[in-house]
Amino acid sequence: MSSTMRAFVLTGPRRGAVQEVPVPRPESGEVVVDVERAGVCGTDVEFFTGEMAYLHQGHSAYPMRLGHEWAGTVSAVGAGVDSGWLGRRVMGDTMLGDQTCRRCARGHQHTCENRQEVGIRGDRPGALAERLAVPAWSLHALPDEVDAVLGALVEPGGNALRAARAAGACDRALVFGPGTIGLLTAMFLRAAGTEVHLMGVDDGSFARGLGFEHVWTRETLPDLPFDAVVDATGAADLPALAVDLVEPAGRVVYIGLSGRPSPLDTRALVLKDVTAVGVLSASPGLAETIAAYGSGAVDPRPLVAATVGLDDVGAVLAGEWRAGPGPKIHVDPRR
Low-confidence winner among 11-15, 156-160, 201-205, 313-317 (lowest mean pLDDT): 201-205
Q: Do residues 67 and 128 touch, judged by C-beta distance below 8 A?
A: yes
Q: What is the C-alpha separation between 29 and 135, in angstroms, rounded?
A: 6
Distance CA 174, CA 244 (A): 12
Q: How would you label 183-200 residue by residue, b for 16+ Cβ within 10 Å and e otherwise?
A: bbbbbbbbbbebbbbbbb
Q: Where are the domains of the chain?
A: 4-153+300-331, 160-278
Question: What distance lies between CA 50 and its chain's CA centroid?
Answer: 19
d(CA 241, CA 182): 16
Contacts of 241 (CB under 8 A, 6+ apart): 176
Confidence band of 267 (pLDDT split at 50, 70, 90): very high
Q: What is the mean pLDDT of the chain?
A: 97
Contact of 178 with 328, CB cutoff 8 Å: no
Contact 243, 266 (CB under 8 A): no
pLDDT at 20 over 90: yes
CATH architecture of 160-278: 3-Layer(aba) Sandwich (3.40)
Arithmetic mean of pLDDT, 85-111? 97
For 115-139, write each residue's pLDDT tens digit. 999 999 999 999 999 999 999 999 9
Q: Show the beta-strand stretches assigned E in 59-213.
A: 69-77, 89-92, 95-96, 116-117, 131-135, 139-141, 172-176, 195-200
Q: What are phi and psi of 14, to 5 degrees?
A: 60, 25
Q: Is residue 224 over pLDDT 90?
A: yes
Residue 322 has pLDDT above 90, yes or no: no
Burial class (CB in 10 A: 0-12, 13-18, 19+), 300: buried
Distance CA 316, CA 295 (A): 31
Separation between Cα atoms, residue 246 and residue 230, nearest integer Å: 10
**Angle, alpha carbons 235-238-241 (nearest 5°):** 170
Closest CA to 157 of 139, 177, 180, 176: 180
Residue type, 12: G
Inter-CA distances, 32 with 23, 73, 79, 140, 260, Å: 9, 8, 12, 14, 38
Q: What average pLDDT score do residues 195-213 get?
A: 96
Which tens digits make up the pLDDT trace of 30-60?
A: 999 999 999 999 999 999 999 999 999 999 9
Give me the pLDDT at residue 1, please. 67
What does the alpha-carbon distance between residue 206 and residue 187 come to, in Å, rounded to a whole number?
Answer: 13
What proportion of the chain, given as a percentage, has pLDDT over 90? 96
Per-residue pLDDT tens digits for 128-185:
999 999 999 999 999 999 999 999 999 999 999 999 999 999 999 999 999 999 999 9
Beta bridge partner(s), residue 99: none
**What is the spatial distance between Cα 224 and Cα 250, in angstroms, rounded to a whole number?**
13
Query: Of 107, 246, 114, whose CA–CA distance to 175 is shortest?
Result: 246
d(CA 154, CA 285): 9
Q: What are phi and psi of 249, to 5 degrees?
A: 70, 15
From CA 131, how far away is CA 1, in angstroms rounded?
13
Distance CA(133)–CA(77), nearest Å, equals: 9
The candidate with the shortest Cα–Cα distance to 179, out of 240, 233, 239, is 233
Domains 4-153+300-331 and 160-278 share a fold: no
Average pLDDT estimate for 257-278:
94
* Amino acid sitting at position 176: F
The phi and psi torsions of 104 (rounded to 5 degrees) equal -65, -40
CATH superfamily assigned to domain 4-153+300-331: Medium-chain alcohol dehydrogenases, catalytic domain (3.90.180.10)
Looking at residue 323, what is its pLDDT? Answer: 79
